[in-house]
Amino acid sequence: MNALSPGSTIGILGGGQLGRMLSIAAAQLGFDVAIFTDEPDSPASRVSARAVVASYADEAALADFARRVAVVTTEFENVPAETAQALIGAGARVAPNPHALAVAQDRFDEKSYFASAGIATPPFRAIASQEDLDAAIAEIGAPAILKTRRLGYDGRGQIRINSAADAEGAFEKLGAPGILEGFCAFEREVSIIAARGWDGAVAFYDLNENEHAGGILSRTMLPARVSADIARTAQEAAQRVLEAFDYVGVLTIEFFVMPDGSLVANEMAPRVHNSGHWTIEGALTSQFEQHIRAIAGWPLGPTTRVAAIEMHNLIGADANAWPALAADPDARVHLYGKRDARAGRKMGHVTKLSF
Amino acid sequence: MNALSPGSTIGILGGGQLGRMLSIAAAQLGFDVAIFTDEPDSPASRVSARAVVASYADEAALADFARRVAVVTTEFENVPAETAQALIGAGARVAPNPHALAVAQDRFDEKSYFASAGIATPPFRAIASQEDLDAAIAEIGAPAILKTRRLGYDGRGQIRINSAADAEGAFEKLGAPGILEGFCAFEREVSIIAARGWDGAVAFYDLNENEHAGGILSRTMLPARVSADIARTAQEAAQRVLEAFDYVGVLTIEFFVMPDGSLVANEMAPRVHNSGHWTIEGALTSQFEQHIRAIAGWPLGPTTRVAAIEMHNLIGADANAWPALAADPDARVHLYGKRDARAGRKMGHVTKLSF
């Protein structure tokens, strides 16, 4: 595609912090942004030229939105397939393509996809009944984790199975089609943030080392304590996924690093990612600008990291510490403008750089 | 004052690129921004939570604006005194204070102020008639520059006087109260960007070395080629100005560096400044964040510069080169979202960092 001229309007589905940071990055390149969200007064709407507040099922609103923007992207992966279809049906160019979104919405499809692309995963089985679960545990063994196939996010909808006895009634408790994943006794967690343009050019950021607490990302550090081999394996995996989906934009894959030095893919996010927030100050091109460049048909920017990084999330009441954070000369403070600091809610993040 | 909580609304008078970059910085700290501008579809409005489009003389609109924001600041110095009074009359906290704005609006007041604070200036005289002009030239000598006292900006409203003969009819041509300034055969131009908080804390950025073309800033480079003595003199001058005005926010002073190594103050801008745009990528705290921190009662952030800098402006048609700039890995591209690339108009800037 031809590169979009500055002054073009970029459409973003979703009004959260990722949309907010994407919108700011787009503005810095001279684009206008229109947000489509079902949330009034969303964090992203408040930094954007326009906001449409409507249901993701509102086909008329989606069609109107499609006509007013040069390209549509998304800040969350759980975009209903019908939403993407309505946009495309109305003539919108959508990036990344809805196929990547659909695969990332289903943990079984996602892991099957990794496996078919030669990317190592934990052992996994689709679970549609208690019988499936019992059989899968017999095959995979315990400990294992039973998760819903769809709409799982940040540790919700997961049941740990430590022994065959734990499996009793677990499928009923899950209440939805599931996936059983063998538990990985990993040494650490890493993620790779990669980007691909309309022209097929690919770029990678340095690997992120991540710590989670309660299923939510807590801390990201760079450089990650991994070998060059591991970094290369992660890049190769990302490249295969990007190319197989003819993907345009930023994509993230999370991996477990096993004690034997092997990498096991955990999940992918077809979007900018919390573990890449450090790129705002810590890389020559932020992941947000990179995503905008990619979907706008601009050349990808350099991903060079300029400092050692520690990023930590402000979850729920953590954000109440803003006076101390504001006074810390080492803390680059980002707050997302959320009105209500509910427990578990990502309210902001802090990046520390060591030059 | 107490520090404003994230979620508070910051009001900005003016809708240009400085307002746009201030608004983005405020959003990153979790603030909402309301823009007051007489320009529909302004660059700043398109990245802000709210925009009021009204005349700066509309007292009802100003009073309403004042009631909806926690603090009001400005992105341009030519705010009419009545505008500031209307805001203050309606109970707004205004920073920087209108006295500093008023002095900066009048070149004679500004230079008188510098002189009274012990800051060196070119020789200057107020010119209210042709007789004043003739007398001033006799005293100061030629070459000299005759400028309007008010509303001068980027080289407009200036008459170069190379000899006494050039002065004939010059006051009539100027058509407004003026100031005659002795011409400075300077070696280079530098500027200092300084900030002061409500608590009196002061911070300085490294000195900027600037090049102008046609009266408009063309290029800024850091480190500036000046001695530590010159840097200290500039800081002392800025500190005196900040304290004398009980100033809150970012303030800029432009200086000439003379061949003998002395510094001569040219003008001040009671705001963030084009020569400080490099701070977005090149300093730990950008001048925009610093200004928001100051007016919001937050502690000032560290001003440490992290790289050598070259910033150049994109003026008018320069911005048409965006495809080449987008493809230059060394160029951090900023475009302001202006619809019309008129000659002389600041459309964007590019920062290059050398680590």
**DSSP sequence for A184-219:** ---SEEEEEEEEE-TT--EEEPPPEEEEEETTEEEE
In this structure, what token pair is assigned to residue B6?
């994230």
Confidence of residue A152 (pLDDT cuts 50, 70, 90): low
| Cβ-based contacts of A350 with chain B (< 8 Å) | none
Q: Greatest CA span in chain A, whole angstroms?
A: 61
Amino acid letter, residue A302: P
The residue of A20, A42, A309, A333 whose CB has the most chain B CBs within 10 angstroms, and thus the best one to mutate to test that interface, is A333
Segments in chain B below pLDDT 70: 152-156
The string of pLDDT tens digits covering residues A189-209 is 999 999 999 999 999 999 999
> For B337, which of A27, A326, A334 is closest by C-beta distance?
A27
The string of pLDDT tens digits covering residues A202-242 is 999 999 999 999 889 999 999 999 999 999 999 999 999 99
Predicted pLDDT at A175 = 87
- The complex's ipTM works out to 0.95
Strand partners, B332: B351
DSSP 3-state assignment of B263? strand
Residue with tokens 């507040």: A53
Q: What is the DSSP string of B320-354?
A: GGHHHHHT-TT-EEEE---S---TT-EEEEEEEEE
> CA-CA distance, B52 to B40, in Å (whole number)?
9
Amino acid letter, residue B317: A
Nearest CA among B147, B205, B201, B203 for reference residue B179: B147
Which whole-number Å values give the CA distances from A109 to A92, A154, A178, A247, A269, in the listed order? Answer: 26, 18, 11, 17, 13
Nearest CA among A334, A290, A341, A273 for reference residue B24: A334
Nearest CA among A280, A313, A338 for reference residue A43: A338
Q: Measured on CA atoms in the order B293, B294, B299, B302, is the torsion positive or negative? A: positive
Q: What residue ranges do the domains of chain B occupy?
A: 9-94, 123-182, 188-354
> For B333, which of A7, A29, A353 is closest by C-beta distance?
A29
pTM: 0.96
In this structure, what token pair is assigned to residue A220?
């990201």
Supply the Cα-derived Rg of chain B in whole angstroms: 20
Q: A153 vs chain B: nearest CA distance in angstroms?
A: 25
> For B322, which of A6, A23, A284 is closest by C-beta distance?
A6
Q: Is A335 close to B28, i.e. CB distance below 8 A? A: yes
Amino acid letter, residue B183: F
Predicted pLDDT at A164 = 86
Q: Is A47 close to B27, i.e. CB distance below 8 A? A: yes
> CA-CA distance, B193 to B287, in Å (whole number)?
8
B71-74/B9-13 β-pairing: parallel
> CA-CA distance, B233 to B93, in Å (whole number)?
32
Q: B204 vs chain A: nearest CA distance in angstroms?
A: 15
Helical (H) or strand (E) element with A266: strand A263-269
Phi, psi of A49 (to 5 degrees): -65, -35
- Residue environment code for A332-341, b if the CB has 16+ CB neighbours within 10 A, otherwise e: bbbbbbbeeb
> For A335, which of B29, B49, B339 is closest by C-beta distance?
B29
Q: A64 vs chain B: nearest CA distance in angstroms?
A: 20
CB A37 within 8 A of CB A20: no
Nearest CA among B114, B135, B60, B85 for reference residue B241: B114
Tell me which CATH code domain B9-94 carries: 3.40.50.20
| B23: nearest CA partner in chain A | A47
Q: Is A306 close to B301, i.e. CB distance below 8 A? A: no
In this structure, what token pair is assigned to residue B273?
């400044």
> CA-CA distance, A283 to B105, in Å (whole number)?
40
> CA-CA distance, B263 to B149, in Å (whole number)?
22
Provide, for chain A, the percentages of residues in helix, strand and coil under a 3-state DSSP scheme, each rounded to the nearest 5: 35, 30, 40
Predicted pLDDT at A313 = 98
In this structure, what token pair is assigned to residue B239?
């500190």
DSSP tag of A58: -
Helix axes B287-295, B17-28, angle to 10 degrees: 70
Class of residue A172 by CB neighbours under 10 A (exposed 0-12, middle 13-18, buried 19+): exposed
Q: Measured on CA atoms in the order A13, A16, A22, A28, is the torsion positive or negative? A: positive
Q: Is B298 close to A23, i.e. CB distance below 8 A? A: no
Cα atoms in the Cβ-side hemisphere of radius 13 Å centred on A92: 33
> CA-CA distance, B190 to B186, in Å (whole number)?
10
Predicted pLDDT at B274 = 98
The residue of B32, B335, B347 whose CB has the most chain A CBs within 10 angstroms, and thus the best one to mutate to test that interface, is B335
Residue A249 falls in which region: left (phi positive, over 0), alpha (psi -120 to 50) or beta: left
Would you say residue A5 has pLDDT above 90? Answer: yes
Tell me which CATH code domain B188-354 carries: 3.30.470.20
DSSP tag of A336: -
- Total H helices, total E strands in chain A: 11, 17
> CA-CA distance, A18 to B329, in Å (whole number)?
24
Would you say residue A153 has pLDDT above 80? Answer: no
Average pLDDT, rounded, for chain A: 95
Q: Which residues of B touch A (CB under 8 A)?
A: 3, 5-7, 20, 23-24, 27-32, 45-49, 284, 293, 298-299, 301-302, 306-307, 319, 322-323, 326-327, 329, 332-337, 339, 348, 353, 355
> CA-CA distance, B171 to B304, in Å (whole number)?
46
> CA-CA distance, A247 to A77, in Å (whole number)?
14
The residue of B9, B33, B46, B314 whose CB has the most chain A CBs within 10 angstroms, and thus the best one to mutate to test that interface, is B46
Would you say residue A132 has pLDDT above 90? Answer: yes
In this structure, what token pair is assigned to residue A101?
């979104």
Neighbours of B314 (CB within 10 A): 23
Neighbours of A118 (CB within 10 A): 9
Which whole-number Å values give the CA distances from B196 to B243, B255, B292, B334, in the listed order? Answer: 8, 20, 11, 27
> For B326, which of A299, A327, A353 is closest by C-beta distance?
A299
In this structure, what token pair is assigned to residue B248?
């809150």
Instruction: Specify the range with the lowest mean pLDDT, choosing from A57-71, A86-100, B164-178, B267-281.
Output: B164-178
End-to-end C-alpha distance for chain A, whole angstroms: 38
Cis status, amide bond into B40, omega within 30 of 0: no
> CA-CA distance, B92 to B86, in Å (whole number)?
9
DSSP tag of A156: T
The CATH superfamily holding the domain B123-182 is ATP-grasp fold, A domain (3.30.1490.20)
Confidence of residue A156 (pLDDT cuts 50, 70, 90): low
Confidence of residue A47 (pLDDT cuts 50, 70, 90): very high
CB A174 within 8 A of CB A198: no
Predicted pLDDT at B118 = 94
In this structure, what token pair is assigned to residue B151?
């509303």
The residue of A8, A22, A28 whose CB has the most chain B CBs within 10 angstroms, and thus the best one to mutate to test that interface, is A28
Nearest CA among B171, B164, B166, B108 for reference residue B137: B164
Percent of chain A clearing pLDDT 70 (strictly above): 99
- What average pLDDT does range A110-123 have in this prediction? 96
> CA-CA distance, B312 to B211, in Å (whole number)?
9
Return all residues near A288 (Cβ < 8 A) that are at least 6 apart: A21, A22, A24, A25, A272, A279, A280
Return all residues near B279 (Cβ < 8 A) that are at least 6 apart: B193, B205, B285, B286, B287, B288, B290, B303
> For A326, which of B3, B284, B323 is closest by C-beta distance?
B3
